[in-house]
Every structure is written in C-alpha cells, then in structure tokens.
Amino acid sequence: MTPELTALTLAALLQVAQFGIYSVSAQRQVGTRYAASSRDTPRQLTGIAGRAQRAMTNHFEGLILFTIAVFVVTFADKGNAVTSGCALLYLVARVLYIPAYLFGWTPWRSLIWAVGFAATTAMLIAALL
C-alpha cells in the first residue's frame, strides 16, 4: 500500500473514532431514550457534544477532498516524497484538530485546519505536475 493510501485508511479510522467521541458525548447530553428515538424533535447539542459533532462534520468535508487527492495521486502514479509527506501532514493535522476543536484552542484550531487543507491542495497540484 502506498503511503498516501495508508494515510487515507488511517484518516478513515480517525473518522470512526470521531464518530465514537461524538456519539458518546451526544448521548450523555440528550440521554439514551432520546438517542434511541426517531428524533423527530431535533435537539441542539452544546459544549463538548456540539463541538464533537462539528469536528466530525468538518472531517467528513475535508476527507472528501483528501480522498480525491489520494486517488488522483495513486491512479496517476504521481506518488513521491512530496505527496507522501503531504498525506502524513494532513493526517497529523486532523489528529490535532480534534482536541483543538473540543477544547477551543483558538486560533490554533483554524491554523491546524489550514495546514491540513494546504497539504491536500499541495497533493492535488503535485499530481498535475
């Protein structure tokens, strides 16, 4: 497996972990009965649960673009030290983004996000060169 595909696999597993953090924190906030219900009446999550939900959603959004970058690099056979470094940088940024969002590390959360986004963008550009 290429380093880029390995990073993508680990990023997907990170998303699974984020879902777990979100699910546990949300259930603690709304209770088991509501969590198991049809949720016809939506509830606004706040605090850690709300931040966990937003961090998870943000990773879903970033993961789409990162997946495209990894697939383009892989299928175009453009993988090199730059693309594998960018993939690792993306993964590290996403790992750091979780506590940054959960604990409100400002402005670090935005800077960490920007690093991951820049790494993904660099992979896409590298695939074109």
Count Cβ atoms below 10 Å from residue 26 Cβ, excluding itself: 19
pLDDT score for 84: 97
Domains held by the chain: number: 1
Q: Is 45 exposed, middle or buried (0-12, 13-18, 19+ CB in 10 A)?
A: middle
Domain housing 65? 3-128
- CATH code for position 10: 1.20.120.550
Over residues 15-48, the pLDDT tens digits come to 999 999 999 998 887 777 766 667 677 778 889 9
Report yes or no: 110 and 55 within 8 Å, Cβ to Cβ. no
Q: Which of 87, 94, 77, 86 is nearest to 13 (CA)?
A: 94
Count Cβ atoms below 10 Å from residue 74 Cβ, excluding itself: 17
Over residues 75-108, the pLDDT tens digits come to 999 999 999 999 999 999 999 999 999 999 999 9
pLDDT score for 51: 94
Of the chain, the percentage scoring pLDDT greater than 70 comes to 96
Report how far residue 4's alpha carbon sits from residue 14's, in angstroms, rounded to the nearest whole number: 15
User: pTM score, two decimals?
Assistant: 0.90
